[in-house]
Structure 1
Amino acid sequence: MNLIEAYVYEVTRRLPEKSRNDIALELQSTIEDMLPDDFSENEVMDVLSKLGDPARLAASYRDTPMHLIGPKVYDAYLWTMKMIIPWAILITVLVHVVETIVLFSGEESILSVVIKSFGIIIANVIHVLIQTFFWVTIVFIFIERVGLAKSSGSITKHGTEWSPEQLKHVQVISKKKVIPRSEVIFGLVWTAIWVVLYFNADHLAGVYRSIDGDGLQMVMPALNQSVLMSYLPIVLLFAALEIGMALYKFKERQWTMRLVTINAVIKVFSLIVFIVIASNPALINEAMIPYLADILEINLTSVNNFTDWAVWTVVAIIVVTVFIEVYDSYRKAKA
């Protein structure tokens, strides 16, 4: 690992993107000027020790000062907030969405359920943000006032004072290859949601009609739940693989050819399973076809043709989406 490169990266990643390149060149030049011609690793570490914690050096380049919390713990405080807040929000949303799906019986108007859920989610997210901000801030104030009272250095996200030795563990990641934390979290949340939808498809997907002006209510399920449950073992296997893939992304933090290959294999095989399930003629509730033909006053053949068209349109959209995702990940890994 090039210690100078790692140090410059640790400083500039905390700065606005528009100023990173200029500051990186300036800082690299400053470090090289402080070193002799034939410098050793120990001499580099001495120079970096004089420059100090990259977080505090980055703060000196900012236009706005850090007054939210003391500089000793500011970098670790921000890192903790960035780690906790997205998870807290998405877990809050996920819990309520899953709970709503599981408890939905089709008797209540969909519109009223959506409006009620939207209001509850906003209220819960605000409450979680307030609690998270309050308790994390309290903990870091305690750490700074008591735990670091006798320390002159600043604490890092690793819970220790900064030293050049930590640069040996820095992973310099190209912006084009980086996997955003939000992408990983969204992947986990989406997997949980579609698994819940799969288990409850018979009372979520169907024909809805307004009854006595009370809003839309389900009158006929569209899918045969027993057919879906017959594929349950392999569906749960792929759900587990997707969760494992998301955790692997979280660990690697960047697209590599190994990661792209594993992701592509999982996506292609899950796509094959999806097509097999969609191709099962018993998947569509057989009672729905004559019901639609009756209320729409059209023949059964037209309803069957429309149903087949709808199913295969969804399949085509998902196939295209998967291949775009796989290609995009390959392009990032090659960047």
Structure 2
Amino acid sequence: MPSTATLTERYISATVRSLRPESQDDVRAELEASIADAIEARREQGEDLPAAERAVLTDLGDPGILAAGYAERPLHLIGPRYYLTWWRLLKALLWIVPTFAAVGVALAKILEFATIGETIGAVVVAIIMSIVHVGFWTTLVFVVLERTATDTGATWTVDQLPELTDQGAGRSEVIGSLIFLVLAAGAILWDALRGFVRDDGVPVPILNPSLWPVGMTVLLVLLLAEATLAIVIWRQRRWTVGAAIVNTILAVAFVVPAMYLLVSGDLVNPGFLQYLAVEHAAEMAQADAGAAAQGGVLRILTVILGVVIVGSGLWDIVDGWIKTLRARRS
């Protein structure tokens, strides 16, 4: 008999010790009564007292879980109430933050005249650290929300149900692509014919006029090919492996010559640079003085333009393959 009482008391004590003092007596009394009733029921079925008590306490389970139920404490980091909001936000941040971190670190390292190995190492570290920080801090915020029962305002309504659409490329996607390509072609022609910059009424092209007619014709043909590809994908209502391959070829065909011309100094019109040096000499001198450690303002602009060219090409390639994989899964 003493060992039986001790076993029950140990279980009750383990349950109530993590509860608020004002609720411990009530929970203790409730558990004593319910355990005694359960033991009595088993004894009426022929079990002896030690076996009946052990079976009852085993059925009640871990006293920590039982105590959490009495205290209404969650035993999970993020429950159903916040899980989807946390997951959607985390996925968005894991796309955005590491990307910007990598680009920012790469720019800084290039402007510091770091070696390729140093730049790659710093970018990898930045990506890993940003992923760790995004995952930790985002999860921590929702853990606090879970335990304080704070209302995030993210309530679901039937108005959020998506419209039934085809799984392939939509009309809005092809329209957006065509508008961008038309604007790009228009900007190239405007720069050559009318000029975004004018010196006493005379156009000063930003792009090197020596690229006409061959180089610019090739660029316009690439833009036309991109437009044709967008229309073909829309007519097929889906991305295919063939479309992704063509998209990759077109992106490489744009990025490689553009980067070659940029690095060799043949992309920008020397007359435009001369115009800046003469008409904005004071501003250029001040900017060069402030960016002397990074090789001057023109080097900074060249690096930024190069990152934009390569980044846009890589994004176009990756986006095309992601859409292709989604189409194949659907």
TM range (shorter): 0.3 to 0.5
Structure number having the greater helix percentage: 2
Query: Which TM-score applies when normalising by structure 2?
Result: 0.39
Select the structure of larger CA radius of gyration: 2
Query: Which TM-score applies when normalising by structure 1?
Result: 0.39
